[in-house]
Amino acid sequence: MSYSTPTPRHPLVEFADVLEKALAEVVDVDPAYLSTEQKSDLLRRLTPLVSQAEGVRLRVVAASEDVAAEHADKRVADWVSRQTRCDKRAAHAQQTLAEALDARWTRIGGGVTSGRVHLDQARVIVRALDQLPPQIGPEVRRLAEEQLLEFADDFGPRDLVKLGDRILAYVAPQVADDAERKALEAAERRVETRTRLTYTTRPDGSLEYSGVLPPVEGAILKTVIDAKSSPRRRDTAGGWTDPATGQRLTADQVRGEAFRDLIANLDPQD
């Protein structure tokens, strides 16, 4: 006589079964009859528990590429949104977070499933870590992740945004200074590549100019134009007026006259 050994159920499947059964038993229970102390206790316990359960689900999402392949979906998020009727964009954002917690920032992922880190905190932390400069080495990345994990013990998402923006200053000040300098240099290069001046000849023969200047040169031109169009240079009537019509000029027209005056005094031979 032979006996077949039942295949053991996976702990995550058992977890889903237990969770389904437990929820079915309380779904119709009215919390209105709880005491204030009991409600407070439940809110403190259920909030991280919900986040932990979602953390477990995200781990399954990160491991379910085969589900997408089997159903000819590009990403598992496409399959999840179709099967559960949830928002497709939300499903894709969840998969992106799941992959980050599973592959890049495993300490934060562990913090979520252990209840140490709320999912809202995890989203902010992952965003900050993913925005670290690409030249940052693995050791500094590790320190940044560990420091933000510690910050999560005391700070909510809004504060973690600010702390995440300055995380290099906490874990690697010299690297932060170098990264900030390079970021400024890159920003300056981007501005310089946008420098341009275009002009279009209008039917009446006038020219319409449009351009972009770097901050320094732009500020110099603005200072000159503002000086030439300042109230101190107004006519005796107390305002800028068109001598042909006597009508007051608009601010744009005044600046145009100041720019015209500036050009008139240029030497084309310089």
- Where along the chain do its domains lie? 30-175, 196-264
CB-based contacts of 166, cutoff 8 Å, min separation 6 = 176
Sign of the Cα pseudo-torsion (154, 157, 158, 159, in order): positive
- Worst-scoring range by mean pLDDT, 55-59, 230-234, 265-269? 230-234
**38/46 Cα distance (integer angstroms):** 12
C-beta of residue 161 within 8 angstroms of C-beta of residue 124: yes
Residue 169 neighbours by CB distance under 10 Å: 14
pLDDT digits (tens, 9 = 90+) for 168-215: 888 888 876 666 666 666 666 676 677 878 878 888 878 787 878 777
pLDDT digits (tens, 9 = 90+) for 69-128: 999 999 999 999 999 999 999 999 999 999 999 999 999 999 999 999 999 999 999 999
pLDDT digits (tens, 9 = 90+) for 126-154: 999 999 988 888 999 999 999 999 999 99
